[in-house]
Amino acid sequence: MSRDVIVIGCGSAALAAAVTAAEGGAKVTLLERAPKSERGGNSRYTEAWMRMKSEDAVSDDFVEFMLSRGHGAIGPEMLREVSRDYENWPANLKAYPFTDPEIVAALAENAPAAMAWLKTHGIRFTFHSPMLLQKGAERMGPSGGGLAIVESLATSAEKLGVEMLYETTGRSLLLDDPGDVRGVRCWSKARGNFALEAANVVVASGGYQGNLEMMTRYVGQGAHFTRPVSPGGVYNKGEGIEMMLAVGAAPAGQYDMFHGEPVDPRSPRHEALVAVINYGVLVNVLGKRFIDEGANRYEFIYDEVSWTIMRQKLGTAWLVFDKRLFDIPNIRTRIKTDEPPLRADSIAALARQIGAPEAALADTLRGYNAATREGAYDTTQLDGLSTMGLPIPKSNWARPIDETDLFAYPIMCANTFTCGGVKITGDAEVVNRDGAPIPGLYAAGETVGLYYTLYTGATSVMRGLVLGRQAAKKICQGLGR
């Protein structure tokens, strides 16, 4: 069969590319490592909140957040060049790993059209304050979450005649003699190794959160103490990124960073969050505190708290609190684990249950209680109710914990997605290390390196949808369709 495009992956980014390309008249083959019943990677499990204030515009803070977190170590002389037209950027800038304003602008400009297009595939939107946000910033999301996006777009892809190859893994790019992209080398249980040819390949196979070797290589210490936050992430083993780097793609995105979340390791649920870390104290298995749990509102600190837990002994911490936590309005909506907290009527009993040294735990909890002070406790804002004199302070929401009625959740660091990927243009063309597009090669979604320092929440699904469509539109343009 002759085909125009191979899309690797079946999440929101891949499906946006496959369906848009098929609508544009291209012949498309899609490769999905997972069985059909589990298709969709992370996109299948996400609530898919998007940083949009309406169907017609991204949130007012979108560009500011993306750019302010993204410059890394780029030098001022190179940054000055950014104000030129993209065509006139020096090659090294086009290949430079930073949050490229070209890409951020492409996301902001094309997101409304992507939303309108999703509606033509039956998606409806809802506005809501996600439970993670302590202050009312609204986000837009699809009714039915990412699962609705995956199932409606996959159904559309089938109707449009996209060849859907399930349980088929893309392993490397097929190249011709000079080294141009000509297709994908694949593997499936049924066929073993085989090659598929196409002049265009869209790599939308997610990050490397499901690959411990890559996680250890890039993230380093403690990587084996984290796991993908959803069963979909387990399929994302990084081949897509590796195959693009192998043909000279410019790396981009912070390779040693991933979007981390604090979850209950006992729970079989995906994203079994314990998103109440602001309101207790965190101790490691040595019975010691290690971070300021009240440094800022949850959405600003949970990544760093999660990474720090990953680097504690055994990659585990315990959130210790008393029953007053359950009096905080709507607090149960922030706890998604289905496992109950441990409960103990003394520090000694809690120490036995969590396996921490009793003396150390007693020192920590009594030292913390002694450092708290009178003041108004207010979970609706940074209340300034801080500890006094502790080497590791708790800067807000520090009230004493009743040592005769203790609760504790175990917490581990879950990996939502990884941030290392490749550099692209605003049309999702993969850029080589000399700043030029690699003919026929496109990337969308988690395979694109975009985030540095801290992930800007509610932008990853939007990134995939927009860039998947950008890639498809560029391919169809090249095909003259």
Ligand X SMILES: Cc1cc2nc3c(=O)[nH]c(=O)nc-3n(C[C@H](O)[C@H](O)[C@H](O)COP(=O)(O)OP(=O)(O)OC[C@H]3O[C@@H](n4cnc5c(N)ncnc54)[C@H](O)[C@@H]3O)c2cc1C
Residues engaged in binding ligand X (CB under 6 A): 8-14, 31-34, 39-43, 45-49, 146, 169-170, 204-206, 229-230, 232-233, 235-237, 239-240, 270-271, 416-417, 445-446, 458-462, 464
Find the shortest distance in angstroms from Cβ 396 to ligand X.
25
Residue 19 to residues 13, 105, 360, 382, Cα–Cα distance (Å) = 10, 23, 58, 45
Angle at which helices 460-479 and 145-159 pack, to 10 degrees?
Answer: 20
d(CA 360, CA 362): 5
- Residues 468 and 106: beta-carbon distance below 8 Å: no
d(CA 59, CA 231): 30
> Where do the DSSP E strands lie in 26-167?
28-31, 52-54, 57-58, 125-128, 139-142, 163-165
Q: Which one-letter DSSP state was computed for residue 406?
A: E
| CB count in 10 Å sphere of residue 306 | 25
Question: Can you name the residues that pair with 127 across neighbouring β-strands?
Answer: 140
Residue closer to ligand X, measured from CB, 189 or 391: 189
Residue closer to ligand X, measured from CB, 299 or 402: 299
Residue closer to ligand X, measured from CB, 207 or 315: 207
Find the shortest distance in angstroms from Cβ 239 to ligand X.
4
Find the shortest distance in angstroms from Cβ 13 to ligand X.
3
DSSP, collapsed to helix, strand or coil, labels residue 91 as helix
Find the shortest distance in angstroms from Cβ 168 to ligand X.
6
Residue closer to ligand X, measured from CB, 95 or 149: 149
Residue closer to ligand X, measured from CB, 32 or 403: 32
d(CA 351, CA 272): 24
Residue 114 to residues 6, 107, 167, 241, 448, Cα–Cα distance (Å) = 21, 10, 28, 24, 18
Find the shortest distance in angstroms from Cβ 165 to ligand X.
9
Find the shortest distance in angstroms from Cβ 259 to ligand X.
7
| CB count in 10 Å sphere of residue 88 | 8
| CB count in 10 Å sphere of residue 441 | 26
Find the shortest distance in angstroms from Cβ 365 to ligand X.
32
Residue closer to ligand X, measured from CB, 164 or 351: 164
Residue closer to ligand X, measured from CB, 35 or 161: 35
| CB count in 10 Å sphere of residue 86 | 14
Find the shortest distance in angstroms from Cβ 12 to ligand X.
5
Residue closer to ligand X, measured from CB, 43 or 387: 43
Find the shortest distance in angstroms from Cβ 21 to ligand X.
15
Q: Checking DSSP bridges between strand 258-263 and strand 406-418, what pairing results, if any? A: antiparallel
Residue closer to ligand X, measured from CB, 232 or 410: 232
Find the shortest distance in angstroms from Cβ 375 to ligand X.
34
Q: H-helix or E-strand containing 172?
A: strand 168-175
Residue closer to ligand X, measured from CB, 344 or 461: 461
Question: Can you name the residues that pair with 184 across neighbouring β-strands?
Answer: 173, 196
d(CA 372, CA 385): 8
Which residues are within 8 A (CB) of 426 and not within 5 positions of it... i.e. 6 or more apart? 86, 102, 103, 105, 106, 470
Residue closer to ligand X, measured from CB, 206 or 222: 206
Find the shortest distance in angstroms from Cβ 219 to ligand X.
16
- Residues 105 and 426: beta-carbon distance below 8 Å: yes
